[in-house]
Amino acid sequence: MESSRGTFRVAVRDHVMIAHSLRGEVFGPAQRMHGATYEVITEYAADRVDSNGIVMDIGVCHHVLAEVLAPLRFQNLDELPQFAGTNTTTEFLARWIHGQVAARVRGSFRGDLRVTLEESRVAWASYEGPVS
C-alpha cells in the first residue's frame, strides 16, 4: 500500500542509565564523572507501509532497542573499549545507537530512522539518517 503523499512513522521508547565524563572546558561541571538517564526514542519513517499495513512491527522495534541499550545499562561509558578516547556526548550517543539499530533492521526496514536521546524535559539531541 502506498501513500499519495506524506510519511508514515512508528516510534518506541526505552531508557538507559549510564555514567560518563566529558573532556573540554565547554562542558563545565560535566567534565567530572556524572550519571545520566536518557529516554531513548527510535522513530522509523517511510513513505509507504508494507502488505500488513505497518511501517515496522512495534514488538521488533522494542526488542531491537532493548538489545542495543543492554550493553550500556548501568555502565561507565569511559571504561567501555568501544568508546575509548571519545567524548560520549548526547549527540555522539544518538548517532552510535542509530548505527547499532540500523545494522539490526537492515533488510527488514527501508526508510529513515531517527534516534532521540532526551536528557530531561527541556533538553534532547537526535540523529537521523536512512536505513538501506
Residues 6+ apart with CB under 8 A from 132: 106, 110
Tens of pLDDT, residue by residue over 23-54, are: 999 999 999 999 999 999 999 999 999 999 99
Tens of pLDDT, residue by residue over 68-113, are: 999 999 999 999 999 999 999 999 999 999 999 999 999 999 999 9
Grid cell locating 129? 539518517
Residues 6+ apart with CB under 8 A from 94: 115, 116, 117, 125, 126, 127
Element (H, E) at 130: strand 124-131
Q: Based on the structure, what is the number of domains in the chain?
A: 1
| Residue 32 is assigned to a structural domain of this protein | yes
Single-letter amino acid code for the residue at 89: T
Pick from 129, 128, 116, 94: nearest CA to 13? 116
Q: Which CATH number covers residue 83? A: 3.30.479.10
| Structural domain range at position 63 | 8-131
